[in-house]
Amino acid sequence: MRNLVAVPVILLTVILQSAVFSRVYLLSGIADLPMVMLAAWALQEEVDSAWQWAAATGLLVGFISGISWVVPFLGYISVVAMARVFQRRVWQAPLLAMFSITFLGTIIVSVFSIVALSFSGVQLPISDVLGLLTLPGVLLNMLIAIPVYAVMRDLARWVYPSPEVE
Amino acid sequence: MRNLFPRTLQTTIIFLVVGGIMALALGGYFSSASNVFTGSLVNLQTWFSARFVAVQDFLTAPRDIASLRQRNTELEGEVAELQAQVIQLQQEVGETQILAALVDFERVRPENKYRAAAVIGRDPSPFLHYVIINRGSNDGILRGMPVVTDQGLVGRIDAVIADAARIQLITDPASSVNVRLQNAETEGSLVGSVTGDVSLQLIPQQVNVQAGDLVLTSGLGGGYPPDLIIGQVVNVRSRDFDLFQQATVQPVVDFNRLEIVLVIVNFKPVDIAPLVPTP
């Protein structure tokens, strides 16, 4: 039943993204709160439901957004996959892993978006996308990465309390 | 390993059941329960949006320096809790001004029927230019209906659920509007871009287009009613080896500060897709 905490957290994250974060521009880029939230959640060792969180968040964002649901779905699944690999094998420094995943995740979601839009007949100039959307988005995501990581770490400790050592 | 599989399966089933119930509710299958649920979500997002817009207006709205100083001097004598009231009152005044302008706009164009809606969100993807409004099929909103403000054309309804709808702005890279130039008496196509700039394309080379020319909807294609103001030509790019001229257009609507819009509910868009010859 503790997995039901995903419902209010994901709903609140997507509502905040649509109502607040999508209105705060740096050039033409915006922060991607659901992606950063999922990265932070997947980096917590005790969490075992990050894949389901990613799928649910991707489908909900796909429902709200005008872009194909495949983009956030695959994008967020990829972010969780990266977070799992980084958390288990590469680094023990969680903040360094968080920044790396935030950077790579933003790039991956952008690539998926460009590919999806090109399939639907919208050709985007790569230089504009890189300079005006993706890199400003990376910077904004980096700015919110630390506070989001702290919140998700506390949430993980609350949802998955560690057994007391006698 | 034995314990891991049932737990993962159990978690997946929980997510699928919850997701399925939400999908059925959003699709309108649980009409009364769905209305309560989606209504609550829309109200929650409206609450967040209103608070954010109020704070944003308070921090960034352009003001005259003299009046700002005077206002600042007046506010120095007030206690902290009154500042929240000031923010709320400013928001209400702003909304009243917007609504008054929209009522004037409606009076000038009695041939159209309008439904006012508040903008409660934007598309989560930076690649698209969509906004979300707090009116849906319960209010008579249908896909394809044009959306305007008192200043000019905003876009059209792209998707609708019971209590909310998504608008594709004319600045969206996938948006294309058939337009005419008022002074040049020629027609073209207005397309958006990923940066939010709009440009005029398919203008014949022999047409004399100048900066300042007014751009209006032509009504061709049946997607929008004619003679809705879109903006003004800012500059023209004409090269000898191009088939058509291009022009940059400055929209009259400030898409970054959209708060209240009007949906034209008595306009039925024409679907000309069956008439377009396929290769």
Residue-wise pLDDT tens digits, B225-279: 888 889 999 888 887 777 788 889 999 998 888 888 999 988 888 777 777 676 6
- Is A128 near chain B, with CB under 8 Å? yes
| Contact between B147 and B157 (Cβ < 8 Å) | yes
ipTM over 0.90: no
* Residue-level pLDDT at A87: 79
Find the mean pLDDT for residues B162-178: 91
- Is A31 near chain B, with CB under 8 Å? no
Q: Measured between alpha carbons, how far is B1 from A46 in angstroms, rounded to an integer?
A: 16
SS3 B121: strand
What DSSP character marks residue B172?
Answer: S
Select the residue of A7, A23, A67 nearest B127 (Cβ to Cβ): A67
- Calculate the dihedral angle through the C-alpha atoms of A136, A138, A139, A145, rounding to the nearest 10 degrees: 150
**Chain A residues within 8 A of B56 when measuring between CB atoms:** 23
Q: If DSSP states are collapsed to H, E and C, what string results for A114-160?
A: HHHHHHCCCCCCHHHHHHHHHHHHHHHHHHHHHHHHHHHHHHHHHHC
* Residue-level pLDDT at A111: 93
Using the predicted structure, report yes or no on whether residue B68 has a pLDDT greater than 60: yes
**Chain B residues within 8 A of A22 when measuring between CB atoms:** 121-124, 126
Find the mean pLDDT for residues B85-109: 79
pTM of the model: 0.74
| Contact between B138 and B102 (Cβ < 8 Å) | no
**Chain A residues within 8 A of B14 when measuring between CB atoms:** 3-4, 52
* Residue-level pLDDT at A164: 61
| Contact between A136 and A28 (Cβ < 8 Å) | yes
Find the mean pLDDT for residues B66-92: 74
Cβ of B56 within 8 Å of Cβ of A23? The answer is yes
Average pLDDT by stretches of 10, chain A with 166 residues: 84 92 88 94 88 92 90 94 82 81 94 91 86 92 93 90 64
Using the predicted structure, report yes or no on whether residue B4 has a pLDDT greater than 60: no
The CATH class given to the A2-159 domain equals mainly alpha
Find the mean pLDDT for residues B182-210: 85
Using the predicted structure, report yes or no on whether residue B3 has a pLDDT greater than 60: no
* Residue-level pLDDT at A6: 86
More confident residue, B41 or B32: B41
pLDDT-above-70 percentage for chain B: 90
What structural domains and CATH numbers belong to chain B? 176-252 (2.40.10.350)
For the record, the structure tokens of B219 come out as 């009504």
Q: What is the mean pLDDT of chain B?
A: 83
Using the predicted structure, report yes or no on whether residue B197 has a pLDDT greater than 60: yes
* Residue-level pLDDT at A101: 92
Of B81-85, B140-144, B159-163, B181-185, the least confident:
B81-85
Find the mean pLDDT for residues B181-206: 85
* Residue-level pLDDT at B278: 66
Enumerate the β-bridge partners of residue B129. Answer: none
* Residue-level pLDDT at A166: 46
Domain ranges in chain A are 2-159
Cβ of A48 within 8 Å of Cβ of B45? The answer is no
Residue-wise pLDDT tens digits, B124-151: 999 999 999 999 988 889 999 999 988 8
* Residue-level pLDDT at B79: 67
- Is A30 near chain B, with CB under 8 Å? yes
Element (H, E) at B45: helix B31-60
